[in-house]
């Protein structure tokens, strides 16, 4: 009986982990994953199966290893907080707790959006002031939109520059951006953090939900799906290193977004090897779903082009979003973004990828290359 209970628990936690990491497939089922333990790490190994010819049905099953019961504890710690359904505070109480004069347009948020705004409070020690974040440059006074606009995703794999692009867009458009997550260290700088509604310009997501938002987001926002998407793509090798630096550097709070991890994090570290395998597959799966199976308009931004020609690429995004802009505002936004706190200025002085690491990433890259080629993006294998 005990073994049966453990197996049942593993199945439930495994399903939660699948949902948390990659979201739902087009038909609402869970993506195909292999769950197994890896040696002394005690962690869960996740492998996505990306078919050469896109077939959504092949990606929409969740497989379990025979050793799933021994992985249950490891799975549990990967279930992210945003999957929990949040309590809806009565509107009358929210109106007493929230200072509506703090941000323009805040009063236009509906009950659910106000609830998420309140529950995602700024960190007591968020690192830097909001002024310092933008280099003390203000292009436009930011606000929440007072109308229900289309819900636009800003989708990317972690480490692809999502937060930096949010900063550029807010400065150029004068509208707050949202997120399906609640990063307390970012709330001071991005008041729209955790908001999923048409009151924000775009909504940050690292999930693969191209048809319907996860149930927890639906219940917390009343919104079922995105209407459009901006998809930010970065070279997988660079994205992996960038996210590892954010996760494992010694800085705290918002400073962690631009910190560097030390060499011991990468060289000879089995956790790094596991991370490369899981996250490179996640990178490929996200692009596979957003660029091949989205049922709405999608604008693709290549990170490398955004860095080399920020002004031109930012203009293209604003045009896709149908946001009015002028040359002066664009120049200000670019200057603000380049002097802000969400673009790393220092980089590793060594190559953290072993030959085995390279083989893993190259394998995923080869599968996604035809999809990226349709958008004029080509990344070479290492």
Residues 6+ apart with CB under 8 A from 27: 56, 57, 60, 211
Which residue has better confidence, 67 or 353? 353
* pLDDT for res 102: 94
| CA–CA dist 200, 154 (Å, integer) | 11
The sign one gets for the Cα dihedral 367, 276, 244, 157 is positive
Domain boundaries, the chain: 11-72, 91-234+295-338
Are 332 and 139 within 8 A, CB to CB? yes
Q: Is residue 245 very low, low, confident or very high in pLDDT (cuts 50, 70, 90)?
A: confident
Q: What is the mean pLDDT of residues 219-237?
A: 93
Question: For residue 106, what is the DSSP state?
Answer: G
Residue 347 is predicted with a pLDDT of 58
296-322 residue pLDDT tens: 999 999 999 999 999 999 999 999 999
Least confident range from 84-98, 124-138, 331-345: namely: 124-138
**Phi and psi at residue 102, in whole multiples of 5°?**
-70, -40
Token output for 284: 């490929």
Give the C-alpha separation, 38 to 50, whole Å. 22
* pLDDT of res. 212: 82
The answer to whether the CB of 300 falls within 8 A of the CB of 375 is yes
Task: Please name every residue paired with 301 in a beta bridge, in sequence order, or none if there are none.
Answer: 232
* CA max distance for the chain: 69
CA distance 321 to 315: 10
Radius of gyration of the CA atoms of the chain, in A: 21
Whole-angstrom distance, CA of residue 156 vs CA of residue 142: 23
Contacts of 319 (CB under 8 A, 6+ apart): none
d(CA 291, CA 362): 19
Domain 91-234+295-338 sits in CATH 3.40.50: yes
What are 159-201's pLDDT values in tens digits? 999 999 999 999 999 999 999 999 998 998 999 999 999 999 9
DSSP string, 71-105: HHHHHHTTS-GGGSPPP---HHHHHHH--TTSSBT
Mean pLDDT for 52-74 is 31
The pLDDT, as a whole number, for residue 296 is 94
Most confident of 1-10, 33-42, 150-159: 150-159
- pLDDT at site 323: 95
Q: What tens digit of pLDDT does each residue of 103-159 get?
A: 999 999 999 999 999 999 998 655 444 444 444 456 889 999 987 789 999 999 999
Q: What is the DSSP letter of 303?
A: H
| b/e burial code for range 74-94 (CB count within 10 A of at least 16 → b) | bbbeebeebeeebeeeeeeeb
Q: 264 falls in which pLDDT band (50, 70, 90)?
A: confident
């Amino acid at each position: 009986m005990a073994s049966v209970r453990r197996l049942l628990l593993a199945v439930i936690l495994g399903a939660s982990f699948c949902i948390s990491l990659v979201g739902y497939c087009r038909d609402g089922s869970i993506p195909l994953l292999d769950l197994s333990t890896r040696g002394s790490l005690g962690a869960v190994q996740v492998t996505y199966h990306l078919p050469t010819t896109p077939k959504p049905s092949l990606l929409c099953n969740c497989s379990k290893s025979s050793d799933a019961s021994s992985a249950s504890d490891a799975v549990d710690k990967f279930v992210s907080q945003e999957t929990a359904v949040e309590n809806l505070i009565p509107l009358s109480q929210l109106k007493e707790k929230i200072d509506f004069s703090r941000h323009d347009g805040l009063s236009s948020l509906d009950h659910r959006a106000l609830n998420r705004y309140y529950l995602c409070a700024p960190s007591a020690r968020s690192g830097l002031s909001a002024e310092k974040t933008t280099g003390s440059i203000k292009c436009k006074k930011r606000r929440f939109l007072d109308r229900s606009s289309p819900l636009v995703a800003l989708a990317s794999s972690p480490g692809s520059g999502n937060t930096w692009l949010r900063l550029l867009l807010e400065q150029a458009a004068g509208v707050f951006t949202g997120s399906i997550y609640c990063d307390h260290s970012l709330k001071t700088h991005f008041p729209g953090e955790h908001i999923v509604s048409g009151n924000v310009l775009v909504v940050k997501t690292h999930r693969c939900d191209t048809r319907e938002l996860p149930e927890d987001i639906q219940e917390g926002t009343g919104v079922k799906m995105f209407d459009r998407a901006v998809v930010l793509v970065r070279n997988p090798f660079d994205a992996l290193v960038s996210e590892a630096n954010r996760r494992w550097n010694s800085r705290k709070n918002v400073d962690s977004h631009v910190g560097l991890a030390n060499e011991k994090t990468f060289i000879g570290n089995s956790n790094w090897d596991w991370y490369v395998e899981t996250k490179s597959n996640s990178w490929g799966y996200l692009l596979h779903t957003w660029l091949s199976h989205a049922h709405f308009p999608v604008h693709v931004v290549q990170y490398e082009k955004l860095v080399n020609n920020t002004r031109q690429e930012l203009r293209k995004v604003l045009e896709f979003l149908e946001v009015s802009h002028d040359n002066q505002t664009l120049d200000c936004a670019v200057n603000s973004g380049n002097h802000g706190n969400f673009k790393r200025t220092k980089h590793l002085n060594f190559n953290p990828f072993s030959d085995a690491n390279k083989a893993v990433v190259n394998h995923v890259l080869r599968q996604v290359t035809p999809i990226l080629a349709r958008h004029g993006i080509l990344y070479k294998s290492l």
